A and B are shown apart, each in its own frame.
Chain A
Amino acid sequence: MIEVEINGQKHQLEVAPDMPLLWVLRDVLGLTGTKYGCGQALCGACTVHLDERVVRACVTPVSRAASKRVTTIEGLSAKGDHPLQKAWVELGVPQCGFCQSGQIMTAAALLKKKPRPTEAEIDQSMAGNLCRCGTYTRIRAAIKQASEEGR
């Protein structure tokens, strides 16, 4: 039995301790906003927060989340109104949308640590999140907009 707090709710999980957090979220708990893209921590589609840290859920055994707080895209804000989510909608960032949960979760952690990141810091922090549709220039613009709103 592993106890994990996910989006503010405690769960007692009867799963193998080495099961990746991604599959606990998706297959056990039905939280499908966190995506599978590569299974090797190469694409960032499965990015979630473990306490304040960004982790790739596809390579994070659920045991590592024991007694920690997990935040997924579903728990980032109550009404989908995090400054990043608002900026993403206003600037029309998503194309297919599939990678955007991970993009937003990485960006949220960045803004928490650095409320006003430079372009270089944005590029560096977001380097682990692939987007095949090519929304990178709008992602940069949206992070900047959200960071300014947060001032």
Chain B
Amino acid sequence: MIGHVTRRGLLSGLGFGLGAWTLGLDLKASPKRTTATVDADFDPNVFIHVAADNTIQLVCHRSEMGQGIRSTWVYLFADEMDAAVDTITLVQADGDEAYGDQNTDGSSSIRRRYVELRRFAATARRALVEAAAQQWRVRPDALTVKDSTVSHGPTRRRATFGELAAAAAKAKLPPAARVKLKAKKDLRYIGKRFPMADAPLFTVGKAQYAADVRLDGMLVAVIARPPVVGAKLTSVDDAAAKKIPGVKQIVRMPTPSAPYAFKPWGGVAVLADNTWAAMRGRAALKLTWSASPNDDYDSKAYKQSMAAAVQKPGDVRRNKGDAEAALEQAASTVERDYYVPHLLHTPMEPPAATARVVDGGLEVWACTQNPQTATTSAAKAAGVKPEDVVVHVTFLGGAFGRKSKGDFVAEAAFLAKATGQPVRVQWTREDDVRHDYFNAVSMQRFTAGLNESGEVTAWRHRTAFPPIASTFSAGADTPSARDLQQGVLDLALAVPHVRAEAVSAKAHARIGWLRSVYNIFHGFGVGSFIDELATEKKQDPRDTWLELIGPAREMSLADLGIEGLSNYGASLKDHPVDAGRLRAVIERVTAEAKWSQKRGRALGLAAHRSFLAYVAAVVSVKKVGGKVAVDEVWVTIDAGTVVNPDRARAQMEGSVIFGMNLALHGGVDFAQGRPVQSNFHDLKLLRIGDAPRKIHVTLVESARPPSGVGEPGVPPVAPALANAYFALEGKRLRDLPFGRAFGI
């Protein structure tokens, strides 16, 4: 039995009650031990457990945060194993290195594991088939498998996976040479529409998120954190807070020092027997804070300093030909600057984590994208060994990168240890907005040189942003090559002279990654500038895109003018920078949108390669009353092989809304060192009436290896929207956010 891992009723449509979350806890749980227990059961690897009763427990070690990975998991394994879907129970993995990397980030769950996962399933299937073949003294190839049953046609013998499990467990696993993946024509689910496994739970309120965890004797903590990064607590008056009914304890949090990484933020925690009392208690605290070196951080001033910085040369990171000389000799030049503020995650579920001390170690429940770093963050904060910490992963109510940071988990761990009681740390929306790991603020300058016939001969791209490295290494102010792969180094251009420069920028807030990260502003800059060049050239923007990208070809490093490309961890052989695929999505999306029939419509186009996928978007806007409304959006993605087309479409739809949000409403502004915004009254998000009337998604049919899906839809949206606005109003929008221009 797998009593000590969190199981969720999957296909029954039932959620486990609170009891299941608190039963059978074993701090020494590891996936190896949780599976291989009963002799009659078959555990070919840490993900698959075939029980003698013909049920299958399938471990998902990726976090579910809206991308639908749990559905993909079930149907991918079921397909390759030929297992009956209704016999599968999905087990959400605890944090454990035995699974390999668990960080649900970088749009990587499928693209990094597609073949490996199929091989796990195919190996299990083959082992069961060989067990049957041996029993029946027939050749394995004479057997067929359907719905967890192995059959031999000529003798009409049949056996279920459960009946074969004991024999398969005793035999050696078949070597790789005997394990074959299904041919595409034999696939039953992969690439086809299949149900969303957790949808029934979501519609009855039974899905367990982090804040839904309830333990006996649990206290709820709400924490007053330093208003400015680097400010330290100087005095606490908690007399009024202590008088609030329900408030039980007030605990000073440890003061962090830079680099802040995933450390608790510091401040004062109010612990109460319910959330409301904890919130009221915190509001009643009277605290004073020391000065901080970041007290003067002001977004307006910082923007000016960045605008000045990109006027001067930076560190050359991409260099083909001689862009400086070509710009000097150009018949004309075009120069434009683009600004993107700090953007933020604001998942609908604010961060929350629950921890309790068990046998000197810790048991934790958290909405984490990365239970392994959550484990180390919790261990460090509580002063226990990582091997004595177990982190259970709940459903994540949105994440977008926020919940791969272990800070909120570390807070819960510290408080559980400090109080000796179970503690749930509950972030309020204000906490979430003010204490985010913000996407980097960015300024870019593009300069293009054109010859007399209007061809672009030189392209110079300067980018300035405080890098994420500053969160982990105090003072880091220069982007790495890995940062610049995101839309700077990997941009396919058919321009003879290309140069990209990085301009240093200091961080004054915690900087982190947000869905598609630096691609957001690089995609906005490139996508807007190409449209501006079209205007200069008096050309249809689609033609300018295709001309600048050039003919279909795989770009060599020399073509790109770089010495290497981290390429999202993938080889350039499997995932080259493919100008042809970028062209193809532009051609496809403009065909879908009937781009050539532009008269009387205001359309904007942009395209971007990120996370190894190619995405193009066309946005159509129109005047409605005094406002500019987004009428329709067309998105075409070439993500290679797509396992779960319905969720891929859903991710594109979501990316359109996400991209519109950051374009129209932006993120936070800093004044006196702290974010000005705090909740959804001054931090606006798109509402249903602002959503496009229609979003048309096209998935390019492809047999290529899978690329990312969760993030790549975001970058082209903001530039396509700005370009559509230009088509409507003849005005350029170069600074995000630009909701005011739209009248929202």
Contact = CB atoms under 8 A, between A and B. Distances in A.
Tell me the interface secondary structure of chain A in the complex: loop
Interface in B693-708: 694-695
A132 B688 contact: no
Q: Max chain B CB contacts within 10 Å: which of A19, A27, A129?
A: A27
A42 B349 CA distance: 14
Given A32-B211, A92-B650, A96-B65, A39 B205 contact: no
Contact of B688 (A28, A30, A92, A123): A123
A45 B350 CA distance: 12
Given A127-B688, A130-B680, A137-B653, A36 B203 contact: no
Given A40-B679, A42-B679, A130-B348, A97 B650 contact: no
Nearest to B651: A95
Contacts of A80: 13, 200, 203-204
A41 B66 CA distance: 24
A42 B681 contact: yes
B680 A40 contact: yes
Nearest to B656: A134
Given A38-B679, A96-B347, A96-B349, A132 B398 contact: yes
Contact residues on A (Cβ < 8 Å of other chain), bracket: 35 or more
B205 A73 contact: yes
A138 interface: yes
A48 B205 CA distance: 12
B689 A124 contact: yes
A49 interface: no
Contacts of A19: 274, 276
Nearest to A36: B211
Contact of B653 (A36, A129, A135): A135
Interface string A118-140: 00001110111111111111111
A16 interface: yes
Interface string B667-702: 000000000000111000111110110110000000
A127 B279 CA distance: 27
Given A43-B348, A127-B689, A140-B688, A95 B275 contact: no
A39 B204 contact: no
Contact of B204 (A35, A85, A96, A134): A85
Contacts of A130: 348, 680, 685, 687
Contact of B349 (A37, A85, A137): A37
Contacts of A74: 204-206
Nearest to A134: B657
Interface in B367-401: 395-400
A101 B205 contact: yes
B201 interface: yes
B3 interface: no
Contacts of B67: 95
Contacts of B198: 94, 97
A99 interface: yes
A138 B245 CA distance: 44
A117 to B, nearest CB: 12
Contact of A97 (B397, B429, B658): B397
Q: Max chain B CB contacts within 10 Å: which of A23, A36, A37, A88?
A: A36
A63 to B, nearest CB: 14
A1 interface: no
Interface in A11-66: 16, 19-20, 23, 26-28, 30-40, 42-43, 45
Contacts of A126: 687-688
Contact of A94 (B13, B203, B245): B203
A102 to B, nearest CB: 9
Contacts of B276: 19-20, 23, 27
Nearest to A37: B348
Contacts of A38: 429, 679-680
A100 interface: yes
A33 B204 contact: yes
Contacts of A138: 650, 653
Contacts of B680: 38, 40, 42-43, 130
B559 interface: no
B196 interface: yes
A92 B654 contact: no
B646 interface: yes
Contacts of B426: 36
Given A72-B205, A96-B65, A130-B680, A36 B688 contact: no
A70 interface: no
16 contacts: A23-B275, A26-B211, A33-B206, A39-B429, A42-B681, A88-B199, A88-B203, A89-B196, A92-B196, A96-B397, A98-B395, A100-B203, A129-B687, A135-B654, A136-B686, A140-B688
> 7 nearest interchain CB pairs?
A33-B205, A134-B657, A98-B397, A97-B202, A96-B66, A95-B66, A73-B205
Interface of B: 13, 18, 64-68, 195-196, 198-209, 211-212, 214, 220, 245, 274-276, 279, 346-350, 395-400, 426, 428-429, 646-647, 650, 653-658, 679-681, 685-689, 691-692, 694-695
Given A37-B348, A129-B687, A136-B688, 11 more contacts: A27-B274, A33-B206, A40-B681, A45-B348, A88-B202, A89-B196, A98-B349, A123-B689, A126-B687, A132-B685, A137-B691
